[in-house]
Amino acid sequence: MNYQILKINISDRIAVVTVSRPAALNALNSDFFKEMNHFLDDLEPRDDVKVLVITGEGKSFVAGADIAEMVNMNSVEGSAFSVNGQHTFDRLENLPIPVIAAINGYALGGGCELAMACDFRIASKLAKFGQPEMNLGLIPGYAGTLRLSKLTGIGNALYLILSADTISADDALRIGLVQKVTEPESLIEETMKIAARIAANSSQSVPVAKMVIRKGVNIDLTESSEFVASEFGKLFDQPATKEGMKAFLEKRKPNWK
């Protein structure tokens, strides 16, 4: 595919996708969703990519769904736009490999929802977060209502969505919306260091850990404990698990191959 909006760079087992439509502050339009789904179709069968990083070009991560595209939609088109977006964000959340959002600037509306569909978020000090849909007579349409409540608690979700206030990266860190704040110029470097550490871990246990955490929050403790025990047990049949423990006992670095 000839990508017009996404810039894709894959090296050293890490894929970096940059949303690049700076004239519209990287607002999400139908072409973005087509390109992201095409990229995910290509990525899913690959076993040489261990971490995906998503960032934005210019002063914005993503300033929301494309208002110019949404303005003339009727309810059927609006609903389809929402379902398409939800499906794409669910694919990111359900990818076996970890997905990190490197948030360089505005993460508003659908942009904040995109960041929340990632597994965790690293933000530049200059980043701004918010769900300003109320200003447009809308509500968050890409499952942001649920993800924001789960990540930050229902009080913070109600505050941010009902007030449409924009908050700083430091405030986003304080409420658990982001996990780390960096100087603007070191955002990508810091993110890549974390991505590289993850990529260097066992590619058998990383996806299992992600899956167990992701599924575990949606089931009760008893069911979750049984599920974790079963997935934990399965790892013992994996050569990488034996190698990791042997390497510790032999006081050397594991060789995951």
Place of tokens 């349409």: 141
Q: Catalytic site residue 226?
A: no
Structure tokens at 255: 């060789």
Amino acid in the structure at residue 218 = N
Determine which residue in the list 88, 124, 142, 194 makes contact with ligand DAK, applying CB under 6 A. Answer: 142
Stretch that binds ligand DAK, among 2-10, 105-113, 170-178, 192-200 (CB under 6 A): 105-113
Stretch that binds ligand DAK, among 78-86, 95-103, 171-179, 219-227 (CB under 6 A): 78-86
Q: Between 135 and 255, whose beta carbon lies closer to ligand DAK?
A: 135
Determine which residue in the list 5, 27, 100, 172 makes contact with ligand DAK, applying CB under 6 A. Answer: 27
Q: Catalytic site residue 133?
A: yes
The region, left, alpha or beta by phi > 0 then psi within -120 to 50, assigned to residue 137 is left
Residue 26, Cβ density class (10 Å: 0-12 exposed, 13-18 middle, ≥19 buried):
buried
Q: How far is the CB of 19 from ligand DAK (least distance, A)?
A: 12
- Indicate whether 108 belongs to the interface with ligand DAK (CB under 6 A): yes
The dihedral built from the CA positions of residue 54, 57, 61 and 62, taken in this order, carries a sign that is negative
- Indicate whether 65 belongs to the interface with ligand DAK (CB under 6 A): yes
Structure tokens at 105: 């600037």
Q: Is 209 helix (H, G, I), strand (E, B) or coil?
A: helix
Active-site residue set? 113, 133
